[in-house]
Every structure is written in structure tokens, then in C-alpha cells.
Structure 1
Amino acid sequence: MGLSVTAMIDMLDEDEKAFAQALLRHAPAPPYSRYGVDGVRSLFDTAGATAPIRPVHDVGDRMIDTPAGPLLVRCYRPSAQPDLPVLIYIHGGGFTVGTLNGVDDLCRSLCAEAACVVISVEYRRAPEHVFPAAADDCLWTYEWAQREAESLGIDPSRIALAGDSAGGNLALSVCTASALAHRPMPRALVLAYPATSNTHAGPSWDAFEDAPVLCKSDALWFWSNYAGTGADLDPRAVPMLSTTLHALPPTLIVAAEVDVLRSDYEDFAAVAARAGAEVEVRQYDGVLHGFFPEVATIGKARRAVADAAHHLRTHFSKE
């Protein structure tokens, strides 16, 4: 039997506890899937901030021409210096919710602290667009950054990928597709509590079945929105199935202590390490799934961003 919501709240540090209690007090009761796609989006899609917490040199939206139509990305630049390294950031939200605005503060922080351009991707969302739509959008963005490096003022040999939750899954999908096609791999990965398996079973699934922010039934609903036909057997959708894990670049996995997905990405890290990848799992105690973008309110999020920026700077600097 899983932990009660009260027991899980008691595990949290003060910042995260206040965040969780406010969510439970002001939002409708979970599971959120009961409110349908439009209801969940009305709860969790974030409007643009009137006063971003972290100024950077330049921020601008651009459109990428793709085989599926125009794709919006938001580019953050730390300085006017040319040939900067670049991080492609992929937001979470169960493939169903989430926007560029929801990770704006996070992308600004990563841009400043890792001294890199950040390109944030507004990929197509499920259930309107099932797999492989979002995976394709992220791959096209990665390939676009390589092609347009000169106009973007970036170094195409120093491209990293990052994402949280579903975004971590999509970052891994880019790696799988690139490895299978024998194309250049990213320089580094930062994956915050990524979705890596479709078994939906394990110790964390039992312990945190009723967790705030992401409970088991919502996780299953999000996957059902995205999976479509064939996703359950495709390594671009299910990273644990990939035969190219040995080719992964140095990877930092940001783990949340109270997270229904934790067993999955811990197992994934172990499998990838056995395959020959360089993988570090760094757990942040006292926080929930979803904490990473909350840099304005949660101290552990700011610590995780600092650790992620260090990982990126380290591997951007290596030849």
C-alpha cells in the first residue's frame, strides 16, 4: 500500500511543502485527468510572466519550417558573443500540457548560469498529435540548430539537450534517432525525472501512487494520450527499449525523492551505465516530481539548476 498524501507532504522541505499545500488548496483535487485535456491545460498551462526573475542579453521567438508546418521556438542568449554553446530545452507536461512560458524562468537561469544559448521548443502536444509528432519536432529542432548555427551565432559542435519529465523522454528520443542514423550526438544531456519506461510498475509506483503533482493514474492517462499505435514498442517513445544507450553523451539525471517515476529512471540509468554510458543520478530530497522549473519558489530547484549548469559547462569545454 502506498504512502498517504499527508505522509508524502511531511517528507517535503519547507519550500516544496508550501508549494504542494498551495496546489492542493487552490486547484481541484487530483487525479487531474478527470477534468479532461482542456481542464488540465486550464490548470497547468502558464501565462507569460510580467517580470521574469532572470534578465538575459536577448530573448526572441522564431519559427522553424518543418515537414509538419511551422514550429515555434524561443531563443535565449547570454551575450552578443558568437559561437556560443547551445542547450535545446524540452518542457514537460505529460506530452499533453506545458508551454514555453512554463519554463521561461528555468531557461533564463540555464542560459545565464551555463553561459549558453538556450532554445526552448513548443512541440506539438497530445492527444491532438500522438507519437511521433513531439519526437519529430524535437529532432527537427536539433537538426535545425546544426544547419543554422552561423545565423544563430552558435557552435554546432557544442549542442546539448535537456528536458523535464516528458521533455526528458523527448530529449532521449533525439539521441536514439541520431544514433540510429549515425548522425552527430549532443555534447551532454540533462534529464530531470525523465519518463523512460512504459511498464508503469516498480517500488516508486507503489509508494507514491497518490503523490501530489503527478499520481499514478495521471501518469497512465498522459501516456495513453501520447502513445498512439506502435509507441509501446518504439525506442524513440520508450527509452528503456533503446539499443543505442552506449552512445549517450555524458548524462545528468535530476531525481526527485517523492516521484512516481523514480524507479523507472533509476533503472534506466543502471541499464545505460551497463551499456557503457556515463550517467549520474543526483537525487534532491524533499521535493516532488515537477520541481525543476520552479526556480522562483523552490530552493532545491535553484540548486539543481546550478548543478545542471556545471554539468553543461564542464562538457561544453571539453574537446
Structure 2
Amino acid sequence: MASGTRFTLMALGGLAALAACAPAGGTMRPGAAPMDPGAAATLARSDADMRAVLEQHMALGPKPIETLTPQEARVQPTPADAVKALLQRMGRSTAPEPVGNVQDRTIPGPGGAIPVRIYTPAGTGPFPVIVYSHGGGWVIATIDTYDSSARALTNAAQAVVVSIEYRKGPENPFPAAHDDAFAAYQWVLQNAASIGGDPMRVAVAGESAGGGLAVATAMMARERNVRMPVHVLAVYPIADGDTESPSYVENAMAKPLNRPMMQWFFRHYLRGPQDAQDPRISLVRADLSRMPATTIILAEIDPLRSDGEELGARLRQAGVPVQVHVHQGVTHEFFGMGAVVADARTAVQQAGTALRGAFGR
């Protein structure tokens, strides 16, 4: 596991007070409103690449998700929007990372057709396949929001990526997203050849809520005697229904994800408090024996960091090969920001290396 200095919000009190009056660059903006203390503390802890994205996101004026309805939250500016705006400011291209081919289609699901986006690398198949679930707390975001992550994985792993537009709460509460993710995995096993893939080399991956879905999909495959994925990639996964971990306390008001937002996500996806204890949500309390080798990628400035660290420890205790990479100075959502954040490029390389190894390349 990568290691680094851990900071607390309390220890950053002085920096936060300064940052409340001035942006990270130290230049006072005349007439600027005082900065939210959580935002100020996050900026003070972030590296230069991450800070630039966060400042750009703040400039887009997103409202606090936890104060909105799901419908309002779904139209707020996203960190992906901030990356695009930052590239425009820098005079750089905002064109997506090229891959061999991209196809939108639907596949059958337990609640009706599931929209998917299929990314194919350049070259000649059959390729390995990654079933990818995006983030957004099972409530917001889409495959468009996480397009950059799917493209990066396609190239880094030299694999077909099937990105799933699973059902979301509150309209479709738990376990709808989990059922859709598992249905998409089963569809890929049965239909990989039709999309240029190899059904014997299928992995699962995801970010945030999607990282939890990836682990839960492997668990469901094990329990239902379905062929297991060859690898699990979980990027800052939601792995516990409890919001009292050390990183939840440390990053209670961090940006772009904080504890009130996570509590809002749980309220809008789970049917009630009892669902927080379900092993598909609280993965750290699940039976993790006989799981595939797993790679966990985490951000230091993230309430979910402890979830991922604990999940890695529990997997090791269960005898599962696992690698945990903690990236310092970056926040939740950094993984898909390779165009502007150096640590994102490193994290994608780590993911690609692990996946290619599992695929036998």
C-alpha cells in the first residue's frame, strides 16, 4: 500500500482560515465571498493538479448535493465538466481519448432494457472484456459523466469495456443497481464473442458506487455458481453503510464528496436503514472468501478512503490477492482526470497493469 502523511481538518485550521479569504494561489479576489471551510481545507491539502480542477469546479457554481432533490442533483456541474472547462481555459483540446470504436446499445435486464456503451480498443480481437459500473452514489451521474474513465481503461487494459447505465434510486431503490450490474456481467459472459470479446477473460470494474457494484457482482457470481470474473478493479469503492470511519471524520466536509452527500446517497438508494447492513452494501462485513484477485485504488482526500483500506484488509484476511494504492494529494473522482491530473494517469497505469496481468497479457 502506498503511504503518506495523514492530515486532519483540525490540523489545517490555520490554512483553512487563510484559504477562506484567498484562493489556493494566494491572490485575494476583490469582493470575493468567503470560501466554504470544507472547500478551503480540501484546496490546502490538494496537489497543484487537483487544486486546479477543484477551483474550476467551484467556479462552475455547483450547489451542495445534499440540499437538492435527486432531479436537481442530476443537473449540477460535475467534476468532469470542470476538467473540460479547465482544458478550454488552457487552450487544450477537449476531445475524448480515442479508442478503436464506441457503440451505444441496450441489453436485457431484470427491470427492462439496460443501456450500455461498448468501447473497443484498436487492433484485432478477441479482446478481454471489462464490465464497468460508473459512480454517482447509485442516484446521479451517467455513462457520459464517466466516459473518460471507460476510455482510459479500454486503452490501458487493451480490453473491451462495457459501461452500464444501471437503474438508480430513489425511483429504483436497492437492489436495482446491483441486479442490473450482475445481469450485465452475465450478458457479457454469454455474448462476449458478439462484441469482439473473450468470454474466458472477463473482469469487473467500477468507481465509487460502481466500485462497490463490481465487488458485489463478483460476490453474487460466487454465490450463484456463475463463472467468476478474473479480476476486480474497485476505485474508491463504497464498501460500508456506516459513515463513522476515520476518513469520514477526517474528510467530513471535503470536496467534491463529503459525509452529508454520502448520507444523502444512502437515503435515496436504500429502502431503509436495514439495507446499510446488507453485505452487498457493507462489503467489509461480507464473506470475502474465494473472491478474485482485486486491485483497489484510493484517494487520500476522500471520505471513502477507509472503506477501501478496510476492504483490502478483509480481502487479505480471506486469502484473496489484493493490491491497494492510495494516491496522496488527490480527491474522490480523480481517476478519470488523466487529461489534467498526473496521479490519475498513474492510477490508470496501475489498473491497466493489474488487469493485463489477470488477462494473461
* Counterpart in the other structure of 1:56: 99
How many Å separate the matches in 1 of 2:271 and 2:355? 34
Going from structure 1 to structure 2, the CA distance change for 1:29 and 1:148 (only over 3 Å counts) comes to closer
Please say which of residues 181-190 and 74-83 is displaced more in the overlay: 74-83
Structure 2 counterparts to residues 59-208 of structure 1, below 5 A: 59-79=102-122, 81-208=124-251
Q: Which has the larger radius of gyration?
A: 2
Q: How many residues align structurally?
A: 315
Of 236, 256, 280, 1:236 maps to 280
How many Å separate the matches in 2 of 1:198 and 1:23? 28
Q: Deviations over 1:63-109 (max 9, x none)?
A: 10223111100001113523210111110011111111111122112
- Conservation of the 8 A alpha-carbon contact between 2:132 and 2:162: yes
Identity in percent: 34
Question: What is the identity, as a one-letter code, of the residue corresponding to 1:178?
Answer: A
Going from structure 1 to structure 2, the CA distance change for 1:210 and 1:104 (only over 3 Å counts) comes to same
Please say which of residues 71-80 and 226-235 is displaced more in the overlay: 226-235
* Counterpart in the other structure of 2:73: 40
Q: Deviations over 1:231-257 (max 9, x none)?
A: 2232122212321x1222111111101
SS of residue in 1 equivalent to 2:239: coil
Question: What is the identity, as a one-letter code, of the residue corresponding to 2:74?
Answer: R
Over aligned residues, Cα RMSD in angstroms? Answer: 1.9
SS of residue in 2 equivalent to 1:247: coil
Question: What is the identity, as a one-letter code, of the residue corresponding to 2:44?
Answer: D
TM-score (norm 1): 0.93
- Moved beyond 3 Å, runs of 4+: 1-4, 44-47, 49-52
- Conservation of the 8 A alpha-carbon contact between 2:150 and 2:161: yes
* Counterpart in the other structure of 1:15: 49
- Conservation of the 8 A alpha-carbon contact between 1:189 and 1:249: yes
TM-score (norm 2): 0.83
1:226 aligns with 2:269: yes
Q: Give the deviation of 1:110 after TM superposition.
A: 1.2
How many Å separate the matches in 1 of 2:280 and 2:105? 26
- Conservation of the 8 A alpha-carbon contact between 1:44 and 1:98: no
Of 289, 304, 310, 2:353 maps to 310
Question: What is the identity, as a one-letter code, of the residue corresponding to 1:149?
Answer: A
Question: What is the identity, as a one-letter code, of the residue corresponding to 1:235?
Answer: P
SS of residue in 1 equivalent to 2:180: helix
For structure 2, list consecutive stretches of 5 or more residues without a partner in the other structure.
Answer: 1-7, 11-36, 85-92
Q: Give the deviation of 1:29 after TM superposition.
A: 4.8
